[in-house]
Amino acid sequence: MIIRRDGYLNKLIGKERNGLIKVVTGVRRCGKTYLLFNLFHDHLRMSGVPESHIIEVALDDRSNKKLRDPDNILEYVKERIEDDQAYYVILDEVQFKGNWNRKTEAQSDEGYKTKKQGRKTKEWIPIFNCTNRG
């Protein structure tokens, strides 16, 4: 059975390009990953966003362990950005990350501000998923 979660999806869609980092939180096993990797991903594709412009990383996946380091994840994202169009960076289970919030925010802010000043730049739109532990 698929639970559409239209309310949550519409909230993400409504704030999709507002220049802010989106963080989805909730208790374990409530559908945060499904919302982002399936429902929001499908929305992006149906809206015309190319598959190559959607960068998804599950940080709880052992094969992505090296991407928990701030320098590695930033390099990983930069390597996938090829043009001046918007890219959606969806990071799942960010509670597995190291201490890299400031670097990620700085990178996002820098791209957004440069774009607003009229210069072409590589913009990325970060969306995080984190389990609420408490």
DSSP codes of every residue in 67-78: GGSHHHHHHHHH
Query: Under 8 Å CB-to-CB from 132, ≥6 apart: which residues?
Result: 25, 26, 27
Higher pLDDT, 34 or 19: 34
The CATH number of whichever domain residue 83 belongs to comes to 3.40.50
15 inside domain: yes
Domain of residue 58, residue span = 6-131
1 inside domain: no
Predicted confidence at residue 80, as pLDDT, reads 93
Beta strands in the chain (DSSP E): 22-26, 54-58, 87-92, 124-131
Band (53; pLDDT cuts 50, 70, 90): very high
51 inside domain: yes
Task: Identify whether the C-beta of residue 129 lies closer than 8 Å to the C-beta of residue 36.
Answer: yes
Q: What angle do CA 29, 58, 19 make, to 5 degrees?
A: 95
Number of domains in the chain: 1
Examine the pLDDT at 30 and tell me if it is beyond 70.
Answer: yes
Band (13; pLDDT cuts 50, 70, 90): very high
37 inside domain: yes
